[in-house]
Amino acid sequence: MRITLGVTGGVAAYKAAELVRRLQQDAFTVQVVMTRGAREFITPLTFAALSGQKVITDLFAESSGEANLESAIEHIAVAQRTDLLLVAPATADILAKFARGIADDFLTTLYLASTAPVVVAPAMNVNMWNHAATQENVEMLRARGVKIVDPDEGYLACGVTGAGRLAGQEAIVAAVHEALRAVRDLAGEKVLVTAGPTRENVDPVRYLTNRSSGKMGYAVAEAAARRGAHVILVSGPTSLEAPVGVERVDVRSAEEMHRAVVEKVAECSIAIFAAAVADYRPADTNAQKIKRNNEAMSISLEPTPDILASVARNKGERLIVGFAAETDHVAENARKKLAAKNADLMVANDVTAEGAGFDHDTNIVTLFARDGRDLALPRMSKSEVAQHILDEVVRLRSTSRTAHRSAV
Ligand code: CTP
């Protein structure tokens, strides 16, 4: 496997030299590309000696003083033979250029020309890292599928302590392996994902709903599409944009979501129920706005259909993933729901935990699989949680196929 290692201009550039060695230990061939800034910190000769390859420094060969065709198209050739592009350390500048598609040197041009997975390990001053501009660029890249290895907290070269230190070598190497693994293992699968809240009308201007933002379901839809699946996203009302390449069906109430799911699920091999469906709706909807008077009032509620359970009852070969939002006895309740609803995987979270649940960008979940495996994950972004869910889906799928084959 060939990795192109982009080194950009920061004090941590010297750590990239050790990284070359570490990647070689895992049998990667490493082609180093240095930006002009990186060369202020470390010489190309160091990397040439370590990698055993000529280091690429510029779009047009500087030494000859004039552009030649070979160097002008080299970024395309390197792009074609790269299995993964890793940038470590990545400056705020390179994050901004990648996010915006600016291609003014070899590395930025290579980024646009390559279709390989991209892993980026930022390192910079804490304020630069926390700046809204940098954070927006990082989010944009993440949404596009770039794997970000978050910087560590610690003492920084600029003399302050905070987040900004290049992540440890092992974290970077683990991210490289993960990015290579996750490529297109859902190609050929049709995946249905439900997401967001539902709204249950009380009268023409009022409704019952919940705090779901839809972020978790949208992250799953996006990750599944990126891994090659055809994704149908049945979404309650959210302010989110449909991920690229995903077919979105907009619904409002639990009833509408149920109808859309029943219509679409027959053609799907995997169904993931991330929506926070209202469990109850007003038994009668008033056609007119309810008028105020000074007496107490009550609304009578009736249960909505349990969409997951109704699909899972006759699931056949279809793999079913449910979510369990809990406030107590998380493991016990999640395992109970897994069995009661006939699901294959339950994603359980304690919605009262810090950094988890509604409207957060992060989540803390445990995955409970029907084969008895539990996987407790630390706090991580919802996109990362989505990847772990899909890893489990792929694992369960391959074990059930193996079991099916040996039974035939
Ligand atoms: N779900 C569904 N249809 C419903 C209610 C829930 O499809 N009417 C799905 C959710 O999308 C989720 C799972 O069922 O994947 C579990 O939802 P949750 O609200 O945690 O479970 P409930 O069965 O409603 O149990 P409770 O609210 O009592 O904890």
pLDDT of residue 352: 83
pLDDT of residue 112: 93
User: Contact at 8 Å (CB) between 83 and 3?
Assistant: yes
Tokens of 201: 């009308």
Site to substitute for ligand 1 among 279, 315, 351, most atoms within 8 A of C-beta? 279
Average pLDDT taken over every residue of the chain: 90
**Who's near 177: CB < 8 A, 6+ residues apart?**
26
Question: What are the chain's domains?
Answer: 2-184 (3.40.50.1950), 190-282+300-407 (3.40.50.10300)
Please report the atom of ligand 1 found closest to the CA of residue 279: 8
**Distance from residue 254's CA to the centre of ligand 1 (Å):** 11
Between β-strands 247-250 and 230-235, what pairing exists: parallel, antiparallel or unpaired? parallel
Q: Does the predicted TM-score (pTM) go above 0.85?
A: no
* Whether the predicted pLDDT of 214 surpasses 50: yes
pLDDT of residue 72: 58
Q: Is 197 in the pocket of ligand 1 (CB under 6 A)?
A: no
Q: Atom 4 (ligand 1): residue with closest C-alpha? A: 306
**Distance from residue 279's CA to the centre of ligand 1 (Å):** 7
How many Cβ atoms are within 10 Å of 132's Cβ, its own excluded? 7
Please report the atom of ligand 1 found closest to the CA of residue 308: 7
* Whether the predicted pLDDT of 408 surpasses 60: no
Q: Is 311 in the pocket of ligand 1 (CB under 6 A)?
A: no
Q: Is 254 in the pocket of ligand 1 (CB under 6 A)?
A: yes
Taking only the tens place, the pLDDT of each residue in 143-177 is 888 999 999 998 877 777 888 999 999 999 999 98
Q: Is 279 in the pocket of ligand 1 (CB under 6 A)?
A: yes
Taking only the tens place, the pLDDT of each residue in 238-259 is 999 998 889 999 999 999 999 9
pLDDT of residue 63: 47
Task: Reduce the secondary structure of the chain to three states and give it as a string.
Answer: CEEEEEECCCCCHHHHHHHHHHHHHCCCEEEEEECCCHHHCCCHHHHHHHHCCCCECCCCCCCCCCCCHHHHCHHHHHHHCCCEEEEEEECHHHHHHHHHCCCCCHHHHHHHHCCCCEEEEECCCHHHHHCHHHHHHHHHHHHCCCEECCCEEEECCCCCEEEEECCCHHHHHHHHHHHHHCCCCCCCCEEEEEECECCEEEECCEEECCCCCCHHHHHHHHHHHHCCCEEEEEECCCCCCCCCCCEEEECCCHHHHHHHHHHHHCCCCEEEECCECCCEEECCCCCCCCCCCCCCCCCCEEECCCHHHHHHHCCCCCEEEEEEEECCCHHHHHHHHHHHCCCCEEEEEECCCCCCCCCCCEECEEEEECCCCEEECCCEEHHHHHHHHHHHHHHHHHHHHHHHHHHC
pLDDT of residue 405: 59
For tokens 């909505």, the residue is: 304
